[in-house]
Amino acid sequence: MGAAYLTTQPRLCHPGPCLVCVCFLGPLCILCGLCASVVNSFSRRLPLAAKRATIASSQRGGLVKRPLSLAAPFVLLLPFSLLVRAQDVPAPVTAEGIGERLRAAHVAIEKRNAAGRVLGLGSGFHLAPHGYVLTAFHVIDGASSLRVTTGDKTFDLDSVLAWDRRHGYAVLRLPEADSAAALAPAAPGSVQVGERVFAFDPSAPDNPLVEGEVRGRTAFPELGERLSLSFLVHQEASGGALVNQHGEVVGLLQAPGTLLPGGWSVDPQRIVQLLFGSAYEAHAVGLPLDALRNPFPAQATPLAELARGGLFVSPLAEDDVVSQGTVVHRLTRRIRQGVFVSPQTDADSGPSPLRRRPTSTQPLLNAVDSRFEYRRADEHLHVFVVWGPRSKRQHQLSLRLYDLENRLRVRSKPSKLKLAPGDEKSNWWKISFDKLPAGLYRVDVLLDDSPVWRSFFRLLD
């Protein structure tokens, strides 16, 4: 079996006036005498008076002697161009019809771990011409297996056909492809700002069909281009199809909190503030279908191989042990009764020894200048977490810093951490920018080997 390509049906004619085609193609075919001879033979059958009138009018103009011959290409090309436009440009589909198509093509995907526990829910859809299932990368991120439901059929998958972490898509191949329900892709580059678009939100309480428009295009240096949409969808709808008024796929629907790898398990507002700014009103985004790389490979890759290759991000542990956390530029101290435990970790020097203050004073830290974007002139940032345990526990505490490609950049040495209900303990780490290149970074705070808190920041030169 060879590689599979995503094919589209290009529109032969620009949506402008067809007379443009006639005016450009007409002079080119004047050199051909076939249609002119047809018109001339037809003109010989005209009455003698009509011939004399035609020749006389041409002689008065002083330009041509056989106007019917020269006009033949234009006359014959005009109905042909109209026919091409009528056959090539599809008619708009009603909202009800689009809803039926989206419902038939929709695929529900459960992400499961090795124990079979559901880690998250997402969407996908059948895409023509092969009937493969296209979904968002976060839907498969961290999965040991996938349970895919389409119509009345359910499939368990442990492999993926193609993927792209940067653009955020994945392609699945089902044992039984449903080509009849597959949605056709739109022509490349055809989606326009202000265009009416539709999506399917399975978690919507009333009407799963969501309608809006493309508000604009945003190009992210690290992630590529995204379509800004005028509506918001639930996270379970992420990975579904974004179609135009003809029912053609123009993009892959993505919830804004899922744009960064690992961001699906944190507060989506952090991702929105980092990528779009604090003033941005959270709406869904779409990955243009042009971002899909072709061809798709013939053989699927096991999900376990992606995990071993470091392409997956571990989900956050379902533990409310962290009461608050943030990434800040500066920290200030204030005094209060108690005991303070604070390992300090620097990106260059590593963690300092665990410091205990058995005195009656405890310096509590206040976060100052909390933000998600930093410049190299800032020199460093602090990661600050406050614990709120519900039971006594003891762990090995550590911090890890990853880049957008999930490469480990900084890793602190583990330190012991004892927690008990009622404790007001906090920990902080200092990360220097000296040896970090510009880019997007993910910060994970771990208890033992499980991440319990996560955030992101961007470093600019």
Residue ranges of domains in the chain, CATH in brackets:
19-88 (no CATH), 91-315 (2.40.10.120), 322-460 (2.60.40.1930)
More confident residue, 33 or 278: 278
More confident residue, 333 or 136: 136
The per-residue pLDDT for range 137-168, each reduced to its tens digit, is 999 999 999 999 998 899 999 999 999 988 89
CA 412 from centre of chain: 32
The neighbouring-strand residues paired with 337 are: 361
pLDDT given for residue 206 in this prediction: 78
Identify the band that residue 217 occupies on the pLDDT scale cut at 50, 70 and 90. very high
Instruction: Please indicate, yes or no, whether the overall pTM of this predicted structure exceeds 0.85.
Output: no
Q: In the chain, what percentage of residues exceed pLDDT 90?
A: 47
Over range 312-326, report the average pLDDT: 87
Most confident of 199-208, 292-301, 407-416: 407-416
Q: Is the pLDDT of residue 41 over 90?
A: no
> Cα(93)–Cα(91) distance, rounded to whole angstroms?
6
Task: Look at 93-102, 154-163, 327-336 and tell me which has the smallest mean pLDDT.
Answer: 327-336
Q: Would you state the structure tokens that stand for residue 402, as one six-digit string?
A: 């990853």
* Helix, coil or strand: residue 55: helix
Over range 116-134, report the average pLDDT: 91
Identify the band that residue 3 occupies on the pLDDT scale cut at 50, 70 and 90. low
pLDDT given for residue 88 in this prediction: 53
More confident residue, 87 or 300: 300
Average pLDDT over the chain, rounded to whole?
Answer: 78
Whole-angstrom CA distances from 236 to 132, 138, 313, 360 are 20, 11, 19, 50
The per-residue pLDDT for range 164-216, each reduced to its tens digit, is 988 899 999 998 877 789 999 999 989 999 999 999 999 887 789 999 999 99
More confident residue, 162 or 273: 162
Over range 287-308, report the average pLDDT: 88
Closest CA to 253 of 268, 241, 262, 235: 241
pLDDT given for residue 205 in this prediction: 76
pLDDT given for residue 360 in this prediction: 31
Whole-angstrom CA distances from 371 to 76, 363, 456 are 66, 23, 10
Over range 383-406, report the average pLDDT: 93
The per-residue pLDDT for range 350-379, each reduced to its tens digit, is 333 333 333 333 445 565 677 889 999 999
Identify the band that residue 51 occupies on the pLDDT scale cut at 50, 70 and 90. very low
Over range 25-51, report the average pLDDT: 48
Q: Is the pLDDT of residue 338 over 80?
A: no
